[in-house]
């Protein structure tokens, strides 16, 4: 028999807008359109119910690395982010030897097939040494389409995105290859000009990897990749809204030019997310996390983040003063569409997985449900 639960009284964010005193009906792990009269109800008056968060760029958490961790460690990292509202996560790799990355992709593809992760993102090794950030320069390579294809094949249909410096030799051909295979080609860690970036977009690139970071700044005579990525309606821009990677004015500029329909909030999280300060390894490089900011021990470059998406959500609403509906679009619907899973997640519509987050009036996380099961039982009353 169907088991139904009604979440009642909250402000519910739907694709059509905010519903006051709304009802979300959960039945057998999915959002339902109606419920029996005697279905148990949970009073969420004074709270928000929003779709589960979708993180398309995440390197780990809970002390675990998606690039190098064991299966159990990877699952720990995934669960850490679920505790913070991320019900759908893509596992991102940092730069490594291509044979090593291929083996890791084979391992993580099994977790994707089991539904634990939503696929694999290769951030490197096909990036610019001029904009390497926290990537090992000795392992960087030009984006040879044959090597790109090798990694895609190793992922057994679970490759979702590859970040490329598309101005490098083989970059444009690799973008075309990715587009042909239904894999997102993301422009990032790039030293490209405005014109080179436009060429990559025309070839099929659709995402800007953490816009502003690891790319030339916006110039009045040399606008570079930022202008090209913001102005083109075919591009969705990733933003790391942790207060460290972006000045609020830069975030406002992105929302003004791209609009909420072309922004995807990400964490770019590393092992320390949800775990604490200390020393960690990011790929082959040592990282010091202090006051929740991750930097390379050698050189001091920012090395990913310790962000969780519940913090990104609250900051977007309370500090950046963005409308709640726009934040939901950027943190759930947009990445779900890009990943090709919007038919299942990303909004609270009947028939979709019952992935949702309960927030209080101050936008503090109070409950997380994934596929109809409480990961964080609601703390209300």
Give the residue among 211, 201, 139 at the shortest CA–CA distance from 176.
Answer: 201
pLDDT computed for residue 380 by the predictor: 78
pLDDT computed for residue 322 by the predictor: 97
Query: CATH number of 4-50+346-376: 1.20.210.10, 2.60.40.1180, 2.30.40.10, 3.40.50.1820?
Result: 2.30.40.10
Domains 4-50+346-376 and 53-339 share a fold: no
Find all residues with CB under 8 Å of 67, minimum gap 6, and list them. 59, 60, 92, 93, 94, 96, 104, 282, 283
DSSP 3-state of 249: helix
What's the rounded Cα separation, in Å, for the pair 265 and 369?
Answer: 20
pLDDT computed for residue 1 by the predictor: 46
What's the rounded Cα separation, in Å, for the pair 357 and 308?
Answer: 13
Q: Is the peptide bond before 125 cis (omega within 30 degrees of 0)?
A: yes
55, 191, 242, 268: the catalytic one is 268
Q: Would you give per-residue pLDDT tens digits along the chain (381 residues)?
A: 456 889 999 999 999 999 999 999 999 999 998 766 677 889 999 999 999 999 999 999 999 999 999 999 999 999 999 999 999 999 999 999 999 999 999 999 999 999 999 999 999 999 999 999 999 999 999 999 999 999 999 999 999 999 999 999 999 999 999 999 999 999 999 999 999 999 999 999 999 999 999 999 999 999 999 999 999 999 999 999 999 999 999 999 999 999 999 999 999 999 999 999 999 998 889 999 999 999 999 999 999 999 999 999 999 999 999 999 999 999 999 999 999 999 999 999 999 999 999 999 999 999 999 999 999 999 876
pLDDT computed for residue 33 by the predictor: 82
Give the dihedral sign, CA 345/18/31/358.
Answer: positive
> So where are the chain's domains?
4-50+346-376, 53-339
Active site residue 310: no
pLDDT computed for residue 2 by the predictor: 57
53-339 belongs to which CATH class?
alpha beta
């Amino acid at each position: 028999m169907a088991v139904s639960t009604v979440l009642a009284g909250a402000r519910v964010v739907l694709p059509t807008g905010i519903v006051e005193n709304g009802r979300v009906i959960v039945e057998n792990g999915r959002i339902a359109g109606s419920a029996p009269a005697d279905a148990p109800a949970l009073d969420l008056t004074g709270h928000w119910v929003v779709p589960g968060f979708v993180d398309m760029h995440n390197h780990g958490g809970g002390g675990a690395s998606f690039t190098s961790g064991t299966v159990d460690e990877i699952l720990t990292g995934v669960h850490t982010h679920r505790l913070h509202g991320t019900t759908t996560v893509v596992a991102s790799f940092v730069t490594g030897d291509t044979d090593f990355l291929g083996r890791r992709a084979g391992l993580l593809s099994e977790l994707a097939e089991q539904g634990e992760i939503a696929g694999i993102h290769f951030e490197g090794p096909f990036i610019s040494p001029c904009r390497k950030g926290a990537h090992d320069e000795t392992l960087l390579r030009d984006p040879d389409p044959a090597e790109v294809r090798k990694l895609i094949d190793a992922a057994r249909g679970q490759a979702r995105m590859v970040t490329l410096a598309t101005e490098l030799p083989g970059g444009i051909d690799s973008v075309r290859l990715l587009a042909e295979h239904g894999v997102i080609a993301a422009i990032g860690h790039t030293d490209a000009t405005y014109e080179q970036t436009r060429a990559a977009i025309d070839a099929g690139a659709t995402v800007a990897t953490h816009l502003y970071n690891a790319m030339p700044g916006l110039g009045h005579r040399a606008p570079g990749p930022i202008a090209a990525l913001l102005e083109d309606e075919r591009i969705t821009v990733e933003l790391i809204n942790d207060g460290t990677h972006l000045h609020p004015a830069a975030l406002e500029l992105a929302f003004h030019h791209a609009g909420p329909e072309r922004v995807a909030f990400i964490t770019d999280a590393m092992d320390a997310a949800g775990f604490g300060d200390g020393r960690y390894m990011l790929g082959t490089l040592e990282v010091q996390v202090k006051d929740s900011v991750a930097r390379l021990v050698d050189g001091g470059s920012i090395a990913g983040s310790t962000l969780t998406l519940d913090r990104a959500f609250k900051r977007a609403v309370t500090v950046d003063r963005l409308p709640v509906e726009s934040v939901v679009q950027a943190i759930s619907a947009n990445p779900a569409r890009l990943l090709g899973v919007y038919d299942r997640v990303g909004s609270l519509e009947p028939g979709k997985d019952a992935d949702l987050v309960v927030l209080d009036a101050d936008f503090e996380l109070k409950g997380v449900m994934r596929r109809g099961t409480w990961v964080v039982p609601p703390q209300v009353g």
